Amino acid sequence: MNPCASTSALLKVDSVVRRFGGLTAVNQVSFEVRQGEIVGLIGPNGAGKTTLFNIISGHLSANEGRVEFDGRDMTNRRPPLWAKAGVGRTFQIVKPLKSLSVLENAMVGALLKNNKAVARERAAAIVERVGMGALMHQPAGSLTLESRKRLELARALSVEPKLLLLDEILAGLNASEVEESIHLIRSLAEVDGLAVIMIEHNLHAVMSLAQRVVVLDYGVKIAEDLPEVVVRHPKVVAAYLGSDDE
C-beta of 5 vs 81, nearer to other proteins: 81
Residue in 5, 23, 112, 125 binding other proteins, rule: CB under 8 A? 112
108 touches other proteins (CB under 8 A):
yes
Question: Cβ neighbours of residue 54 under 8 Å, at least 6 residues apart?
Answer: 60
Residues 115-134 that bind other proteins (CB under 8 A): 116
**Cβ(40)–Cβ(203) under 8 Å?**
no
Using the rule CB under 8 A, which residue among 34, 122, 150, 155 binds other proteins?
Answer: 155
Q: Which H helix or E strand runs over 167?
A: strand 163-167
109 binds other proteins (CB under 8 A): yes
Span near other proteins by CB under 8 A; candidates 6-14, 29-37, 43-51, 57-65: 57-65
Region of 70 please: left (phi>0), alpha (psi -120 to 50) or beta.
left
Segment interacting with other proteins, rule: CB under 8 A, options 25-33, 154-162, 194-202, 229-237: 154-162
Shorter beta-carbon distance to other proteins: residue 112 or 134: 112
By CB under 8 A, is residue 26 in contact with other proteins?
A: no
The closest alpha carbon to 229, from 14, 10, 47, 2, belongs to 2
Min separation Cβ 159 and other proteins, Å: 6
Please report how close the Cβ of residue 68 comes to other proteins at its closest, in angstroms. Answer: 20
Q: Is 84 in the site for other proteins (CB under 8 A)?
A: yes
What are the phi and psi torsion angles at 104 (to 5°)?
-65, -35
Shortest spacing between CB 59 and other proteins, in angstroms? 6
Q: Angle at Cα 20 formed by Cα 16 and Cα 24, nearest 5°?
A: 50
Q: Is residue 72 a contact point for other proteins (CB under 8 A)? A: no
| Whole-number Å distance between alpha carbons of 53 and 197 | 9
Q: Which of 89, 148, 150, 162 binds other proteins (CB under 8 A)?
A: 89
Q: Return the DSSP state at 137.
A: T
- DSSP string for 181-241: HHHHHHHHHHTT--EEEEE-S-HHHHHHH-SEEEEEETTEEEEEE-HHHHTT-HHHHHHHH
Using CB under 8 A as the binding rule, whether residue 156 contacts other proteins is answered as yes
Q: What span, in angstroms and rounded, lies between the C-alpha atoms of 48 and 203?
A: 18
Decide if residue 97 touches other proteins (CB under 8 A).
Answer: yes
Binding status of residue 58 toward other proteins by CB under 8 A: yes
Q: With left for phi above 0 and alpha for psi between -120 and 50, is residue 218 left, alpha or beta? A: left
Which residues form the interface with other proteins (CB under 8 A)?
Answer: 57-59, 78-80, 82-84, 88-89, 91, 95-100, 104, 107-109, 111-112, 116, 155-156, 158-159
